[in-house]
Amino acid sequence: MINRCLLTYEELEAGESYTLAGLKKINVRLTNLKPFPYDRQEQTREVQRHAGKISIQGIQPKLSAKLSVKNESFELVDKDGEYIIKPQVNDYPELPQNEDLTMHLAQIVGLNVPWHGLIKAKDGSLLYVIKRFDRLPKKKKLPQEDFAQLLGATRSTKYHSNMEKVCEIVEAFCSFPALELENVFKLTLFSFLVGNEDLHLKNFSVQTTLKGIVKLTPAYDLMNTTIALVEPQEELALELNGKKHGITRKDLIDYFAPEHCYVKKEHAIKILDSYLKQIPTFESWVQKSFLSKEMKEKYMKLILDRAAILK
């Protein structure tokens, strides 16, 4: 088996975990990264211990961390964390590997995503790490709200909406809605293509920059949830054209793009074609990812099935 960098997927010498180039993308002064100092059992305990103390929430367990270049490691914190760490989940195998791969695929098609990668714990288990995009130097934060907050929805009602409403929120709050609506279309199209059926209200957020511009945040929480679930029932988390299942090319290209994202059909087709042309690249990344052989096969089968629907 070829040994690869957990951050870049590039080939490595046996026994190594990261390329120097990969480490430099975390911090230009970083030349080594020690194993995360908690095994899976200890990670679970730390998640429980930190629950309620950090500002990030959700079903998937999360930890807040800072990077210590001096100590060459990620260190857990209760506040002012600069990174989110997601451990393995017993009921849903390989979620860290799945999310990291999906975020790489999103970057390939041109979606805006934060720095992210996989790290190894002291017991060899893999964790997903993503850099927070609402943090600035000197502990400053950018104002940010997700769409559930803007709609007054709760965690239990984050699925009780539709993609048309998402577009209305963008129009109401973003400084340059035409640009952001195209981004909504691109993200929705990508999510359908890769089986991300968890694009709910809390996975859309707006952020106010230091110049006062309100815009969509980078994409986050992207993964192929379809292969992670035992019996997936839906294709999108929020209704589009009145449905969550049985989505077609017409729903996305003829209806959603021109009528709600104000993306002309001809341009929507060009975006779709650009995504489909990346499928060989997708396959290359899937094959060199850290998913198991079974999960790799499921991931690619889903992409090819969805691509056939979109052609």
Going by C-alpha positions, the residue among 41, 46, 92, 52 that lies closest to residue 65 is: 46
Q: With beta carbons less than 8 A apart as the criterion, state whether 198 and 207 touch.
A: no
Task: Note the pLDDT tens digit of each residue in 240-269.
Answer: 999 999 999 999 999 999 999 999 999 999
Which of helix, strand or coil describes residue 215? strand
pTM of the model: 0.95
Which position has the higher pLDDT, 86 or 57? 86
Residues 6 or more apart whose CB falls under 8 angstroms from that of 189 comprise 252, 271, 272, 275, 310
Q: In whole angstroms, what is the distance from residue 128 CA to residue 84 CA? A: 8
Across the chain, mean pLDDT equals 94
Which position has the higher pLDDT, 219 or 52? 219
- Supply the pLDDT for residue 1: 77
Q: With beta carbons less than 8 A apart as the criterion, state whether 205 and 216 touch.
A: yes
What percent of the chain has a predicted confidence (pLDDT) above 70?
97
Q: Which long-range CB contacts under 8 A does 75-80 form with residues at least 24 apart?
A: 76/46, 76/50, 78/50, 78/53, 78/54, 79/53, 79/54, 79/55, 80/135, 80/139
The CA–CA distances, whole Å, from 300 to 203, 250, 264, 279 equal 24, 23, 30, 9
Averaged pLDDT for residues 117-141: 94
Task: Note the pLDDT tens digit of each residue in 47-66.
Answer: 888 776 555 455 678 999 99
Cα maximum dimension of the chain? 54
